[in-house]
Amino acid sequence: MSRGVSPRVNSRSSVRMVTLVVLAVSVIAADAYSCHEVKTVFQLRQVGPLHRVPETPVTDVDLLVCKHGGPSCCTRKMEESYQTAVKRETLHNIHSYSYELEHLISGHADAFQDMFQYLLSFSQGHLSSLLEGTYSSLSRHALPHVNQLFSSLSLYLRGANVSVEATVHQFFNNIFPLVYTRLINPGTDGSATADSNIGDCLRMTRQDVNPFGHHPAVMAQELAGALGVGRQLGLALEEGLEVMNATEHPGLSKECVKSLVKMVFCSHCRGLTLIKPCGGYCLNVMRGCLASVSELDQPWRRYTNLLEQLTLAVAGHHSLELSLLGVRVHVEEALFYAQVHGSLITAMVDKVCGLSTEEPTGMQPPANPEVTTSAMTSSPPLPSAAPSQASPEKWLKQIAHLKSSFPLKPSKNNKRSLKILSREFFLHLQRYKSFFAALPEMLCEGENVAEDSTCWSGDDLVESYTGRVVGNGLHAQRQNPEVKVRGVDPTMAEVKGRLERFIQETQERFPQLGQMDGWEEFGSGEEEGSTECDDEDGCQSSGDGQEKTLHKDVTTESKSNGRQPGGDTKQEAPQKPPSVRVIGGSPPSCWLQPCSLVLLFAGLCLQWMLF
């Protein structure tokens, strides 16, 4: 019984299985000949109007890009929409990668300008306090000229067509009438400023009379050098922004757009909406489309090196900060020079401008120009040598006492400084040195391509891409199997030429930039003395107390051997180092020598007695 029933049961099961398979095949066949998935993606990616997508695949469609012998879910109108969409998406992807670099440059361009303006404001206040505190007789009329000086310097740093040398000399021309009537000849009635003819004569003949010595020329030279580099840094950042703006929307040729459609959307025409292009295939397409953009790679690398050199020149040795700090010092020394040489200046002015004045009743040149009263100046005494003989080393020593009042290091409440800002910008910029060469690779990474699985080759599904992957640049595109590159994009060629000219002009104007060490030579980038604990808070410096005592004794000894306050000559350099007293040290060696001889003699006698 059982043997007879079994065959009938198995036959019924087989019939049911066959029926299910037929139904499944019919459903799959119905889905295969439906364009529902294509229409869904068409809508999600906002390619175009949905009515352009057919409900079922059609044959004998006259396609230009996505040509296929079998049924297709694409039409000519869909191809047009695909071209517009793929161009929009590609430019959006390029912008998404370049946005961070553009934001880096624009943000630091504003930060550098803010820092420059802060330093200018600090230096202006430093000079104004000198005039108001020490030269109150002329401060009220001189402060407008101070404002004009720093306003012109601010415009220069922002890229305006302003001459630093002319601005500095104009400042000294304007204050000369004030200095002549209020410092050199304070007994006059101030007619030199009230009478425009006399005031104009003093201003026009200032450089011939030379009442301020060499200080205006030195001040102009130092400001022109340091501020010139800062101005060039601002112009370089603007040039970088121009390059980024031009490359955000590169011109995509017709051949490029067709290749992009073939890579991104032609698989949809066969219902393969989830398949991704092969990695090597994507590189060939993107490198062909961005061949002209990739030509910016080498100029951009030189441009980033130039930015490193400019930031280092501005902030590496505090050159811009020190030059602005020196404005007060130069003006102070220039005013003192005019007071010291008041009689000679008066005689020359009387001959040139015809100002008949009596013997100056104000301050006379002191017998010793090194000694001044606190009412005259608040700076240390000038060297005994003539002001025109001052060397840069002596000048740096004179302003050393002012560094503590200038923000060369960040305070506890403000950790930002020009050097920290410059180094941070350089470290961030290093990641983008090869941006234009790596842009095609960035567009062909992640979820955009399929590397180790079945992928789309532009014509069909393949296990891996077998075409030759070309390199970057126009020359390499001759062997590109996917995109025909016919020539250079004129816009990119213009951008490249402009960037190269800017680099060359900067290097010609500042030839010393290429001779500077990199930021790696400046340690970790932390500001000198920028620790949380300062000396005024009771913190110890490096070394123990004995070394500090030694340094203090040497300083005291050297001061005692130097020039006395009333001396006229400099102390000769000692022939041997001064004696140093060390607290807590061992006895001098001269006391140890006799004791050593006695002990040696006693030891020899004991040895002789034992034998």
pTM over 0.75: no
Summarize pLDDT for 113-128 with one digit per residue, the tens: 999 999 999 999 999 9
Q: Which of 30, 88, 90, 77 is nearest to 50 (CA)?
A: 77
pLDDT of residue 188: 62
> CB under 8 Å, gap of 24 or more: what pairs does 361-370 form?
361/185, 361/186, 361/187, 362/183, 362/184, 362/185, 362/186, 362/187, 363/183, 363/186, 363/339, 365/339, 365/340, 365/341, 366/340, 368/566, 368/568, 369/340
For the residues 208-230, what does the mean pLDDT come to?
A: 92
SS3 571: coil
| Percent of the chain topping pLDDT 70 | 66
Distances (CA, A) of 20 to 14, 16, 25, 447, 556: 10, 6, 9, 37, 107
- CA 281 to chain CA centroid, nearest Å: 38
Is the pLDDT at 294 greater than 90, yes or no? yes
Task: Please give the structure tokens belonging to residue 607.
Answer: 């040895």
Confidence of residue 537 (pLDDT cuts 50, 70, 90): very low
Residue 58, phi then psi, degrees to nearest 5:
-120, 160
Residue among 247, 270, 307 nearest 489 (CA):
247
Q: List strand residue ranges (DSSP E) for 349-453, in order.
A: none
Contact between residue 467 and residue 284 where contact means Cβ atoms under 8 Å apart: yes
Q: Give the pLDDT confidence of 336-379 residue by residue, as tens digits.
A: 999 999 889 888 888 888 765 444 434 444 333 333 333 333 33
* DSSP 3-state of 243: helix
pLDDT in tens, 95-115: 999 999 999 999 999 999 999
Residue 21: what pLDDT?
A: 37
pLDDT of residue 609: 55
| Residue among 57, 61, 66 at smallest CA distance from 30 | 57
Q: In terms of Cα–Cα distance, which of 331, 302, 219, 211 is closest to 502?
A: 302
Bigger pLDDT: 547 vs 338: 338
* Residues found in the chain: 611
Write the pLDDT tens digit of every residue in 403-427: 333 444 433 334 468 888 888 898 8
pLDDT at 446: 77
Separation between Cα atoms, residue 244 and residue 296, nearest integer Å: 11
Please give the structure tokens belonging to residue 549: 């005592």
Percent of the chain scoring above 90 in pLDDT? 41
pLDDT at 28 > cutoff 90: no
Task: Please write the tens of the pLDDT for every residue from 236-286.
Answer: 999 999 999 988 888 899 999 999 999 999 999 998 888 899 999 999 999
**Which residues, at least 6 apart from 346, have a Cβ–Cβ distance to it below 8 Å?**
184, 185, 357, 360
Domains of the chain, residue spans: 82-372+389-401+415-520
Instruction: Identify which has the larger pLDDT, 362 or 208.
Output: 208
Residues 302-327, mean pLDDT to the nearest whole number = 88
Among the ranges given (16-30, 124-138, 454-468), the one the predictor scored with the smallest mean pLDDT: 16-30
Q: What is the mean pLDDT of residues 47-54?
A: 88
Tokens 């909406």, residue?
Answer: 273
pLDDT of residue 146: 95
Predicted pLDDT at 578: 34
Average pLDDT, the chain: 74
* Band of residue 305 on the pLDDT scale cut at 50, 70, 90: very high
pLDDT tens by residue, 145-191: 999 999 999 999 999 999 999 999 999 999 999 998 888 888 665 55
| SS3 per-residue string spanning 21-56 | HHHHHHHHHHHHCCCHHHHHHHHHCCCCCHHHCCCC
- How far apart (Å, rounded) are the C-alpha atoms in residues 196 and 208? 19
- 155-159, 179-183, 454-458, 563-567, range with the lowest pLDDT: 563-567
Chain position carrying tokens 């001889």: 597
